[in-house]
Structure 1
Amino acid sequence: MPDVIIRKSVLHVEEIFHEGGPVAPEPLRRAALLTVIRNPFAGRYVEEIQGFMADLKPLGLSMARDLLGALGDDPAAIEGYGKGAIVGAAGELEHGALWHEPGGYAMREVLGKAKAIVPSAKKVGAPGARLDVPITHINASYVRSHFDAMEVGVSDAPRADELLLALVMTTGPRIHARAGGLAATDIRGEDGLR
């Protein structure tokens, strides 16, 4: 399959102290790592594209490790995650779907015991397009306090022949989470859902 050619990477880290209520004793930290690569399938229809997923695996692992490092390098501190892709206009949505396995499995590998599926979003967009990357708890998708999203994007990407690949991690629930549902302390950890 084609080489993975990187044009740029962008790291975005947030610390959230409050959302209008009391200041949290420890801020929620969340980070996104975005990598812009050449889309080897841009401008034409290619039937067999699955092999590119294997080519993306080293990039996924590198991004997951760097993202963890940006949040303190402690897998035990990470409670939420998500992934996404924006496909440049000369590509197709299916090219973004190639990020599911390399991005998701990389974060689960780096975090060790994560059980929940890594939620994902993808779309086709022009340079500067934004994407809301969904976030859920790493061990149980039904933990309502961790339902979140992080908006990501790069001002000059993706160009028509590029893919923008994103990974997101967080250190906890939404600040002031109080909407009920399954609590993180009640996770059984049997199936990645509850």
Structure 2
Amino acid sequence: MLYGRKCRTPVCWEEVGPRELAHKDVIKATNEKIDMIRAHLKAAQDRQKSYADKRRRPIEFQIGDRVMLKVSPWKGIIRFRKRGKLSPRFIGPFKIIDRLGKVAYRLELPEELSRIHNTFHVSHLRKCLADETAYVPLDNILVDNKLNYIAKPIAILDRKVKGLRNKEIDQVKVKWEHRKGSDTTWESEEEMRRLYL
């Protein structure tokens, strides 16, 4: 009702200084309406909290569980914000070897991920429900220190010049290496030279 501000009583509504109070009936009626508004707001907050609490469960894993690790896909091109839809969101599964506190877990990582710290927050983990044979291989996936998935360019297939209002941008059609097949996107030639040459 008041955008989070504290509600003033009718006594404080007038100018500062000597004044006469409003009639007792007006003050009483206004205070009753304020109490009713507060009761309705409290009931609405409690109702929304009960809805949220029904679906909210703390995520916990046991030592020995197998989990998938969340990674962010990133090609290194921030300017055009192109991301592959089918790039892997999770890699693994990995075995939990230790629990540190309430929300941190230590994983048993393979040699390919030895440069990454093996302790992760619970928000980066998902329980692996599939069998151990179905997993995302790490052979062709490059992951940096921030768990960003990096795709490498294979070849430049085509070139074009894109005209904007005040300038022209040289673009190249790049074929990217992926875990399954390949993907092509148009990227800025200047960005590609800066990042990969």
Smaller-chain TM-score bracket: under 0.3
TM-score by length of 1: 0.25
Structure scoring higher RCO (CA < 8 A, sep ≥ 6) equals 1
TM-score by length of 2: 0.25
